[in-house]
Amino acid sequence: MVIIAEMAYSNNTVEELLHLMELEALEVNLFRGESRDIGTPRVFGGQVLAQSVIAASRTVDEGVIHSLHAYFLRAGDASAPIVYDVDRNRDGRSFKSRRVVAIQHGRPIFTLAASFQLEQDGLEHQLEMPEMPGPEELTSGHEIPEDRLKQASPLLRRWFKRTGPFDFRPVRKTDVFNPHPQPAYSDIWFRLTEKIDVPDAMHRALLAYASDFYLVGTATLPHGISFIQPNLTMASLDHAMWFHRPVRVDEWLLYSCDSPSASGGRGLARGSIYDRDGVLVASTAQEGMMRLKEQKED
């Protein structure tokens, strides 16, 4: 039985992350998952995305996920369980389609459409990986100087001090406490902090989890704004992902992101994920709400 109590603040180790992916089967096509307190009041979107991928995968006997399209409908409550209702839309010879609705307090908070495919040979090409410094030449992105941390609220300090299961190393660091306009692209190396022995389907689910970090934030870079600003409201609206080739999330991956447009209070970002050998393993796209409120003079 999955128990959701008042959870102590967690640094989200790899072991805890894998436990998070262990959904409880309630009935045929019905699963329940728990959430982790990662220092924010809401459920992390990547968690719901990954758990939905796991729920859909649990209903597929053969084949692996190759694409997904998701919508974030409501903020998740980290203190309550999430129920995942899977609809087996179609089981074809090569492709299988699933729809997942994540439910909390009787209301849908997230929907996912996913497609699975039996492994097949075919034509191949890919865009080349951009030239970047290796991860060994970079430092982790969560290393915030103490004088900067003092400027943040207690909740934000808690968020910045978390260590988490992934090691993210941005090629170009951004000072969220003193942002300035930059080109609309970002490149981040990342991997799990420990080696894991899990099936390919779990690596894909964990890649979906990690893909929600940094992506839509790329759309804020040209405007010199930061997610910690009190007058900025940001929220993910949707998330799309295509899995091109097998991947291991416990080995270094490069997340190369760009933002082609922001308009109408929304920002769009795209991402390409490469392994250390330059193989394109996945592509992503996400649109997020970005609203700036007028600040009143004291």
CATH number of the domain that residue 173 is part of: 2.40.160.210
pLDDT tens-digit profile of 187-216? 999 999 999 999 999 999 999 999 999 999
In the prediction, which pLDDT does 42 show?
A: 84
In the prediction, which pLDDT does 191 show?
A: 97
CA-closest candidate to residue 21, choices 49, 70, 54, 44: 54
Would you say residue 125 lies in a domain?
no
Q: Tell me how far CA of residue 79 lies from CA of 25, 101, 105, 242, in angstroms.
A: 20, 19, 11, 31
Number of domains in the chain: 1
Name the more confident of 163 and 29: 29
What's the full length of the chain, in residues? 298
Residues serving a catalytic function are 212, 236, 286
In the prediction, which pLDDT does 150 show?
A: 65
Mean local confidence (pLDDT), 142-168: 68
Name the more confident of 53 and 148: 53
Q: Is the pLDDT of residue 157 over 80?
A: no
Would you say residue 239 lies in a domain?
yes
In the prediction, which pLDDT does 230 show?
A: 83
In the prediction, which pLDDT does 298 show?
A: 44
Would you say residue 193 lies in a domain?
yes
In the prediction, which pLDDT does 174 show?
A: 84
Q: Is the pLDDT of residue 1 over 60?
A: no
What are the residues whose beta carbons fall under 8 Å from the beta carbon of 78, sequence distance 6 or more?
7, 35, 36, 37, 40, 41, 42, 43
Would you say residue 130 lies in a domain?
no
In the prediction, which pLDDT does 155 show?
A: 61
In the prediction, which pLDDT does 76 show?
A: 93
Query: Which ranges of the chain would DSSP assign to H, the alpha helix?
Result: 14-20, 45-57, 146-149, 154-161, 200-211
What are the residues whose beta carbons fall under 8 Å from the beta carbon of 58, sequence distance 6 or more?
23, 25, 31, 86
In the prediction, which pLDDT does 147 show?
A: 67
Would you say residue 156 lies in a domain?
yes
CA-closest candidate to residue 44, choices 35, 56, 53: 35
Return the percentage of the chain with pLDDT > 90, whole number. Answer: 76
Name the more confident of 41 and 118: 118
Which of the residue ranges 35-49, 148-162, 207-221, 225-239 would you say has the lowest mean pLDDT?
Answer: 148-162
Q: Which band of pLDDT confidence, cut at 50, 70 and 90, is reported for residue 177? A: confident
Mean local confidence (pLDDT), 108-135: 96
Q: Residue 57 belongs to what domain range?
A: 14-118+143-292
pTM of the entire predicted model: 0.90
pLDDT tens-digit profile of 92-113? 999 999 999 999 999 999 999 9
Would you say residue 127 lies in a domain?
no
In the prediction, which pLDDT does 145 show?
A: 62
Would you say residue 1 lies in a domain?
no
In the prediction, which pLDDT does 68 show?
A: 98
Would you say residue 131 lies in a domain?
no
